[in-house]
Structure 1
Amino acid sequence: MDYDVLVVGAGPVGLMLATELKLAGVRVVVVERLTEPDTALKAGGINTASVEAFERRGLLPALKAVAGPPFVGAGHFGGLHVPAGPVDKEEPSLRGRGPAWYMTIPQIEVERILGERAAELGIEVWRGVEVRGFDAEEASVTVHLQGRDDVRVAWLVGCDGGRSPVRHQAGFEFPGTDPVMTARQAIATVEGAEHLGRGWQYTPTGVYVYGPMPGWVRTFEFDGPPMDREAPVTAAEMEASLRRVSGADVRVTEVTRGARFTDNARQAATYRRGRVLLCGDAAHVHSPFSGQGLNLGLGDAVNLGWKLGATVQGWAPEGLLDTYTSERHPIGAWVLDWTRAQVAVMRGDTYSRALRSVVSDFLGTRDGATYYVKRISGLWQHYDLGNSHPLVGATMPALRLDDGTRLSDYTHEGQSLLVDLAGDDRLAALARAYAGRLKLVQGSSEGAGVSGLLVRPDGFVAWASDDGTSDSAGLAAALTRWLGDETGRSN
């Protein structure tokens, strides 16, 4: 093999996946058809689950260095403001993870940070290189590149966007719902902006938003998809749309940056076909309402990275790679429905106006606002790992040990953690048996409410105990399930 894994796409998801693979000891190369990073208007922030994924790899300081001020309120649902005041900050999954559940940071900065991290790790990123096709066989994939020799790899991962050529050629089914809306957004010079309402404005012909940044304008029209989504958004087009939706006498004289999107919502039936896998938008597309797309893709990458790495290294338990689809597919399906529901409340018909009133009342309550924050923060995500302990299947708690360190301080190298807060030497013996795959963390944490944890490389808890080693059999089973046998050979 020329490389173990070839990742198609050097956006945030492809770069996150590549860094996870590199930490797992994989020979990985990334190819990207664009010669420079895409500066188009895209995601404007990442949620708590994504921030914690960066923190686990030591990248939180880099995020904080470029983060903007926190959002006012908790967010919005189809343009309906969700207040932060009623949120139950003592709800177990939110405790210690506020006060903001979303970090304001442009996608281009996220991509830059991950690109610098990839360079630090020595990952090859070939820009200006397009995949022309590939031949997937039982034991390898031969990838045909424009302007370069063919590359033979063990695995191919498409992180190449919603119109993924990798997905198309590999024959993944991509069912879903067709778009009913065209959204336009731009940083523009707007004359007559004083005639526009502030915040989200619903009208019989659509929805528009002006601000909060000067010149930032968005319109949503429910007249189907655009004729040419890739054409530049012109000042004339933006002006015409804003006039139709707002009814205001405005002029758009210049567009500095612009973009279109729709509510096309589709998801691959599976995320793996043989030696070809999909990650991020290549596996699912939807509208960007409530900012879930980038976060969903980053979650895919950290879930897939260690599992594919274990497969390449030869110690993966039987069926480990297939849990990528079984764990991430339901999360993606929920996000699609979450965005579809927002389209339903945004339309200008009588039924949607009535629905907006009901949903707005709910979101203003303690239960409603808390439910919303748990969802958009990503902290609701839970995998069914077959254990009744409330921590198993959830992301690891934000524990601070009594020596001043945080649990996340021990996750920078991408290994699993065996956390012993009860001082049991038998856990140390288990850790030695899984050397190279497992790091032992011993200490104490007053008020932690847990005595032992097994944390997977993606930050999800695979085993937990409240009373020392009483569940040693459960720990042994969890180790075998997620880290294989002690010999380090695949089953």
Structure 2
Amino acid sequence: MGKSGVPVTEGGEDAQVVIVGGGPVGMLLAAELGAYGVDTVVLEVRATTSDRPKATTVHARTVQCLARRGYFPAPDAAAEGTVSRQFHFAGLPGLRITAPASEPEPLLKETQAALERSFEARARAVGARVLRGYRVTRVRQGPEGVDVTAEGPEGVRVFRAAYLVGADGSRGAVRAWAGITADTRPATVSALMGLVRFTGERVPPLGWHRTRRGWIVTKTMADGRVLVRTLDWNGGHGDRNAPVSLDELRDRVSWIAGHDVEMASPSRLSRFSDFARQADSYRAGRVLLVGDAAHVHFPIGGQGLSTGLLDALNLGWKLAFTLRGTAGADLLDTYHDERRPAARRVIDNTSVQVALMRPGPELDPLRALFAGLLTGDEPKEGDGAEGRDRGGDGARHLSDMISGQDTVVAPRSVRSSRWEGRFLRNTPLLTESGPADVIGLLRGGGPLLLLCGERGLPYAAGARGWAHLLRVVRTETVPALPCAALLVRPDGYVAWAPEDGAADGAGLGEALRHWFGGPR
């Protein structure tokens, strides 16, 4: 019997959780589990972090959740108003990603490789065992755990874990080993990407450039080379794993541009498409999926990376609490219930963007309509009051959708408070211990019960049975928190608030049992 309480396979090594895949999502999950004291092993086939150009954007809700777990500094909670940053939708400029000024920057620009290295360092610091150069060759699930066999620098190693998490990307094998089926959408477009130096006189303009044949997207890198991507509607690649040559990339750029484009010094050439897939279930017994292992879509706008990181943040505390015995009976199932719909919205909105990017002139009126929505065009003279009130709503809807700030958690019942399931924004508080804010109070990783003013005092007694887990903070009433009490999950979402008109602790104990098991 291993220290995790799970029987150990003869000659094997025990762990509470094995994570297959050490990209940024897998490393973040390892860092989260390690911070909760969970014995975690990461098996990653790559010997080192890849610097191949990938996502460079982390969106607002992901940054907000990461700040609550201490990965980024907290801003001034007393800051008023909003902060906006320019972004795009379907290649159209003008979208502004907006977030409260009391929250971190609404757009974090950082390479995927840098995030992976940062999360790996954090994971190692909290005790996670990161094993690079190991390829998983077998997974066998039983009623009490999962056997994972891997081959690497030290030969064949067998791990026996209470849970296995597949963070092995879109081409990983954990999903298939677990017998999890998936819903797929075939590719309709072909895309190429690579780092090059343009050598001729005629070069594509920087940024997003549409022609009658497709798109060319370019970005100048620090070494002077250009990251170039192409997109055309000639159908998906015959073999998405086939290597890309400089000739193929040059010919495709030239064809879309309508003239010869000379280039040299190629590296990091690859191909992709709008093929989409989503696992029908994010959990099969003791096997769970996160990131691209669970959902794949057209890579536009950095939404895939942000969605995967939110998977890790959602699963981390739920899996840790389950292993520690401080979880409600169905807590782990809520991971699928909450994260699968969120990824479905991303798959759907990226499909809409691909459709809107089709280069034909028949879509020009639709693009013009969206351009007006993105820029929040003011209603024209003669519009009624309803039209004036609605100005900019379309832009805010798209901003919240792309940035994940429209995500809410389904309430436990139809009788739930209007606060339940909402993300609690960072707010300055005056507590018994002095000034504080929401981000700082959540950094310990546990649930938080805020008791606001005199009206919150009656709820203290109902929480005593969870003193081993729950942080109870008495604070003065502030306009941003008009309710008497709030139970906040470790990820920043409200787990419970009194129903309108309630004046005692009714409902709090039920919510605590639902999320965190029985009292002690």
Structure showing the higher strand proportion among its residues: 2
The count of residues paired between Structure 1 and Structure 2 equals 473
Cα distance in structure 1, aligned partners of 2:331 and 2:122:
27
1:74 deviates by 3.1
Cα distance in structure 2, aligned partners of 1:209 and 1:233:
17
Cα distance in structure 2, aligned partners of 1:352 and 1:172:
38
Q: Structure 1 residues 72 and 262, CA, compared in 2 at 3 Å: closer, same or farther? A: farther
What is the match of residue 93 of structure 2? 81
Aligned 8 A contact 2:74 2:104 in 1: no
2:311 is paired with a residue of what secondary structure? helix
Q: Which has the larger radius of gyration?
A: 2
1:300 deviates by 1.1
**Pair 1:330-2:341 in alignment:** yes
Residue type of the partner of 2:288? L
**Pair 1:478-2:483 in alignment:** no
From 422, 438, 442, the counterpart of 2:474: 442
Aligned 8 A contact 1:33 1:129 in 2: yes
Range that drifts further, 303-312 or 133-142? 303-312
What is the match of residue 418 of structure 1? 449
Range that drifts further, 39-48 or 19-28? 19-28
1:27 deviates by 1.6
1:472 is paired with a residue of what secondary structure? coil
Q: Structure 1 residues 129 and 407, CA, compared in 2 at 3 Å: closer, same or farther? A: same
Cα distance in structure 2, aligned partners of 1:75 and 1:327:
27
What is the match of residue 407 of structure 1? 438
Cα distance in structure 1, aligned partners of 2:429 and 2:353:
41
1:168 is paired with a residue of what secondary structure? helix
From 45, 52, 77, the counterpart of 2:57: 45
Greater relative CO, 1 or 2 (CA 8 Å, sep 6+): 1
What is the match of residue 275 of structure 2? 264
1:13 deviates by 0.9
**Pair 1:247-2:258 in alignment:** yes
**Pair 1:207-2:215 in alignment:** yes
Aligned 8 A contact 1:268 1:284 in 2: yes
1:230 deviates by 4.0
What is the match of residue 109 of structure 1? 114
**Pair 1:223-2:234 in alignment:** yes
Residue type of the partner of 1:299? L
Residue type of the partner of 1:301? A
1:358 is paired with a residue of what secondary structure? helix
Q: Structure 1 residues 186 and 327, CA, compared in 2 at 3 Å: closer, same or farther? A: same
Residue type of the partner of 1:376? I
What is the match of residue 158 of structure 2? 150
Cα distance in structure 2, aligned partners of 1:372 and 1:99:
19
Cα distance in structure 1, aligned partners of 2:169 and 2:330:
27
**Aligned ranges for residues 257-296 of structure 1 at < 5 Å?**
257-296=268-307
Aligned 8 A contact 1:418 1:441 in 2: yes
Aligned 8 A contact 1:345 1:353 in 2: no
1:212 deviates by 5.7
2:157 is paired with a residue of what secondary structure? coil
Aligned 8 A contact 1:431 1:439 in 2: no
Residue type of the partner of 1:375? M
Q: Structure 1 residues 62 and 123, CA, compared in 2 at 3 Å: closer, same or farther? A: farther
Structure 2 gaps of 5+ residues are 1-5, 7-13, 76-82, 377-391
Residue type of the partner of 1:26? V
Residue type of the partner of 1:126? L
- Per-residue CA deviations over 1:362-415 (Å, capped at 9, x if unaligned) read 222212221111112211001111355343212222111234422111222211
1:193 deviates by 6.2
Cα distance in structure 2, aligned partners of 1:432 and 1:264:
51
**Pair 1:131-2:136 in alignment:** yes
CA RMSD of aligned residues (A): 2.5
Range that drifts further, 249-258 or 317-326? 249-258
**Aligned ranges for residues 232-243 of structure 1 at < 5 Å?**
232-243=243-254
* Identical aligned residues as a percent: 37
What is the match of residue 379 of structure 2? none
Aligned 8 A contact 1:418 1:427 in 2: no
Cα distance in structure 2, aligned partners of 1:156 and 1:338:
30
Cα distance in structure 1, aligned partners of 2:269 and 2:359:
24
**Pair 1:382-2:408 in alignment:** yes
Cα distance in structure 2, aligned partners of 1:99 and 1:378:
14
1:185 deviates by 2.4
Range that drifts further, 438-447 or 27-36? 438-447
Aligned 8 A contact 1:7 1:159 in 2: yes
From 3, 8, 19, the counterpart of 2:31: 19
1:405 is paired with a residue of what secondary structure? strand
Cα distance in structure 1, aligned partners of 2:450 and 2:46:
43
Range that drifts further, 354-363 or 412-421? 354-363
1:481 is paired with a residue of what secondary structure? helix
1:324 deviates by 1.1
- Per-residue CA deviations over 1:411-464 (Å, capped at 9, x if unaligned) read 222111111222544444444421332112222363223332111122211112
Residue type of the partner of 2:55? A
Cα distance in structure 1, aligned partners of 2:338 and 2:203:
48
- Per-residue CA deviations over 1:24-54 (Å, capped at 9, x if unaligned) read 3322111111111121111111011111122
Q: Structure 1 residues 420 and 148, CA, compared in 2 at 3 Å: closer, same or farther? A: farther
TM-score, normalised with respect to structure 1: 0.90
**Pair 1:178-2:186 in alignment:** yes
